[in-house]
Amino acid sequence: EEGEYFLKVLIPSYAAGSIIGKGGQTIVQLQKETGATIKLSKSKDFYPGTTERVCLVQGTAEALNAVHSFIAEKVREIPQAMTKPEVVNILQPQTTMNPDRAKQAKLIVPNSTAGLIIGKGGATVKAVMEQSGAWVQLSQKPEGINLQERVVTVSGEPEQVHKAVSAIVQK
């Protein structure tokens, strides 16, 4: 529909539960409040090359920003168990995570949009970084696998990340 957009966000597994909520209550509430439609990939259904789930958000630019703010908040709430170094058990799946992940937002954009975000000679992405104070990095086009998308990693303080994500949503 007119004025409706899509935003694809990568969500670390540890944050998925708090975004969905008990019996899906949180995600339903979030959809009600923002007017966005939110879909999450299944628990072991990760984005290629990552161990993160894909969240597809559809709605107005305002709705996408509101949903992303909520998601970012949950990603920042790292469960305590994950920050403690633990005795590594080779039978257990790897649960420790990179603490930097909590300061990052990972968006998935179509290759066609990646050019818009980068801008001529990197001008647009530089401007987004200067205005927001966040660090914005785009993944290289994957070799071999025919993925029509790239991952945009935005890192910084919550407010900086929010500003950068909003600017990217505008693009």
Q: If you write DSSP's letter for every residue of the chain in order, what string do you get?
A: -TT-EEEEEEEEHHHHHHHH-GGGHHHHHHHHHH--EEEE--TT-BPTTSSEEEEEEEE-HHHHHHHHHHHHHHHHS--HHHHS-----TTSPP----GGGGGEEEEEEEHHHHHHHH-GGGHHHHHHHHHH--EEEEPPPPSSS---EEEEEEESSHHHHHHHHHHHHH-
**What local confidence, expressed as pLDDT, does residue 99 receive?**
77
d(CA 169, CA 100): 23
Query: In the predicted model, what is the mean pLDDT of residues 142-152?
Result: 81
Task: Output the six-digit token pair for 94.
Answer: 């790897």
pLDDT band at 133 (very low <50, low <70, confident <90, very high): very high
Lowest mean pLDDT among 15-19, 95-99, 150-154: 95-99
User: Between residues 135 and 147, which one has the greater pLDDT?
Assistant: 135
**What local confidence, expressed as pLDDT, does residue 55 receive?**
97
C-alpha distances in angstroms, 34 versus 8, 58, 63, 128? 16, 10, 5, 25
Domains of the chain: 1-78 (3.30.1370.10), 103-170 (3.30.1370.10)
d(CA 73, CA 8): 16
Lowest mean pLDDT among 64-73, 78-87, 135-144: 78-87
Please tell me the pTM assigned to this model. Answer: 0.85
- The predicted-structure confidence for 37-77, as pLDDT tens digits, reads as follows 999 999 999 998 889 999 999 999 999 999 999 999 999 98
CA dihedral 151, 156, 157, 163 (to 10 degrees): -60
2 phi/psi in degrees, rounded to 5: -60, 135
| CA neighbor of 55 nearest in space, from 72, 41, 42 | 41
**What local confidence, expressed as pLDDT, does residue 43 receive?**
92
